[in-house]
Amino acid sequence: MLFNSAHFMIFLPIVLIVTKILKGTNRRVFLLLSSLYFYNAWHPATIKCAELRTSSWYEFWIDKSFCDFGINLYILILIVSMVVDYFAGLLMSKEGVTDRFRKICLVASLITNLGILGYFKYTNFLLEVFADLQHLGPTKIDPLKIILPVGISFYTFQSMSYTIDVFRRQLEARKSFLDFALYVSFFPQLVAGPIVRAHTFFRDLDHPPTVTRQDVEIAFCQILMGFTRKIVFADNLGKVTDFTFRNYSTLNPVEIWTGTLAFGWQIYFDFAGYTDIAIGVARLFGYKFDPNFNFPMVARNIADHWTRWHISFSTWIRDYIYIPLGGSRAGKWITYRNLFITWLFAGVWHGAAYHFVGWGLWQGVMLAVHREYGATKLSVWLNEKGGRLYDIFARVLTMFFLAFGFIMFRAETMGKAWEMMKSLLFLVPGGFRSVQSYVNYDYGLLLAVCYAASYYFSKNTIESLAESKRKFALFFLANVFLLLIFGITESKNFLYFDF
């Protein structure tokens, strides 16, 4: 079910009203069933009820179950993950069990979760890599017809963080399967994050705060801003992004730059918009999740960028990959090894393709270079004495290097990404003289507005809008105006549904 759909607009108020009426266990049961219904409403694009697929028995039954009975069998994968991790946590926390047994439980949980994720997300990519290594050519191994279940990367990581925390004795295992299942499947963040830690969710589950008028106003502001980011900004920028990446071979470097930066802002607005709605909706039920974005597009450097972008994911890979590898505790070269392993993992998590591997490694390169530069006397002097001019230069330079990552993230192949990146550096026939026209003038102005507005609003918070009736009214009217005048009526899927 999409947040930007009529289905959700009917679903949400019904669930809110019923949960306000119910108390205790009944409330939790209803929220769990509502979350499973929310996930069950996902319609894989490959299922076409006019003609059922018959190429294999499981495809036939997946289609028939969905088309005839409205049952999405992919929900079974979510349930399997819940059951395995629930019992893994219980067994690890039993009194008297040995450390060896606890490790076996953790490994069983990780193998189950990563095995399921690996099959659905990486099987065809591994077949492609094998064919390339064996020089078999692209037609020697046919890809399997595998549908990637929506949200599998998010709920798998969320569930794994629970079992790892229980193993580390940083979290007490949950005795109630109902509570744990609700944690994994809670519908606001189920399919595209944020990746919520168990201690945050159970804190509010065990001691639900009273939803005050201020909470409702803050949630309303966050939800409204999320829809504006998605429908007004992300979907409009998607037009120039799609045009640029489809016609890159005929565009000049300035037009490639516009489309590349437009994609960076598109995916930011799209994903931040989704998590704004998710966090706002969760707050209506009494759950206060941490922010997932903090104006990352106006960051001063790449390290600053990653403390502001997809915060729940960047802290996840820090806590469960980078630090366990040794972090920065074992010398420079081990630190860089850990850094590159972590960001290679991050790239592969986002997608099973060479260009995502390239994107992850590029993040590692930028972070390593920044780490070296940050230790120099020049860096210290400029940060102290550079003033506003250096501040602006640092932000522009950061965006310059991020643009190469945007291309690798969006391009379908590394070959296409390479050609577009050469154009960013004007390494095309004619060089600077190749720029004789500029077809994206309007979008160039829109990007300038995005930069200026983000820089200004980065000094404010959602909470501050609810403190003043005047600010709240202006915010409401501005968003309604943008949605009515510039909103895309046929809004697209959220981009992170593909991950």
pLDDT in tens, 245-289: 999 888 888 889 999 999 999 999 999 999 999 999 999 998 999
| Concatenated DSSP letters of 392-434 | HHHHHHHHHHHHHHHHHHH-SSHHHHHHHHHHHTT-STTGGGG
Is 392 inside a domain boundary? yes
Name the active-site residue from 305, 310, 350, 355: 350
Helix (H) / strand (E) element for 449: namely helix 441-457
3-state secondary structure 452-475: HHHHHHCCCCHHHHCCCHHHHHHH
Q: Provide the 10 A C-beta neighbour count for residue 334.
A: 14
Is 254 part of a structural domain of the chain? yes
CB 204 within 8 A of CB 290: no
Note the Cα 145 to chain centre separation in Å: 25
Residue whose pair of structure tokens reads 């050519």 in the numeric block: 137
pLDDT tens string 361-415: 999 999 999 999 988 999 889 988 888 899 889 999 999 999 999 999 999 889 9
Mention every residue, 6+ apart, whose C-beta is less than 8 A from residue 319: none
Structurally, the chain folds into a number of domains equal to 2
139, pLDDT greater than 60: no
Q: What 3-state DSSP class applies to 186?
A: coil
Q: Residue 479 and residue 489: Cα distance in Å, rounded?
A: 15
Whether 172 is in a domain gets the answer no
- At 416, the amino acid letter reads K
What backbone torsions phi and psi does residue 186 show, to the nearest 5 degrees? -50, 120
Question: pLDDT class for 187, splitting at 50, 70, 90?
Answer: very high
350 is catalytic: yes
Are 435 and 253 spatial neighbours (Cβ–Cβ below 8 Å)?
yes
**pTM, entire model:** 0.89
Q: Which of 51, 73, 95 is the last residue of a domain?
A: 73
Domain membership of residue 9 (yes or no) is no
Query: Which of 13-22, 66-75, 88-97 shows the lowest per-residue confidence on average (mean pLDDT)?
Result: 66-75
Whether 382 and 374 have beta carbons less than 8 Å apart is answered as no
Three-state DSSP class for 326? Answer: coil
Q: Would residue 452 count as lying in a domain?
A: yes
Q: Does 195 map to a domain?
A: no
Count CB neighbours of 330 within 10 A: 12
Q: Tell me which of 20, 51, 73 is where a domain ends.
A: 73
CA–CA separation, 236 and 138 (whole Å): 35
Q: Is residue 34 part of a domain?
A: no
pLDDT of residue 384: 87
Residues in CB range of 215: below 8 A, 6 or more apart = 209, 283, 284, 286
Q: Is residue 124 part of a domain?
A: no
Cβ atoms of 225 and 292 within 8 Å: the answer is no
Distance, CA of 254 to CA of 260 (rounded, Å): 10
Q: Which of 35, 54, 73 is the C-terminal boundary of a domain?
A: 73
Q: Omega of the bond prior to 13 within 30 degrees of 0, cis? A: no
441: number of Cβ within 10 Å: 10
Q: How far is CA 443 from CA 217, 271, 296, 422, in A?
A: 33, 20, 20, 22
Q: Is the Cα dihedral 194, 197, 199, 205 positive or negative?
A: positive
The residue whose two tokens read 């230790």 is: 375
Check residues 50 and 33 and name the one with the higher pLDDT. Answer: 33
Provide the domain limits for residue 433.
Answer: 214-498
491 pLDDT above the threshold of 70: no
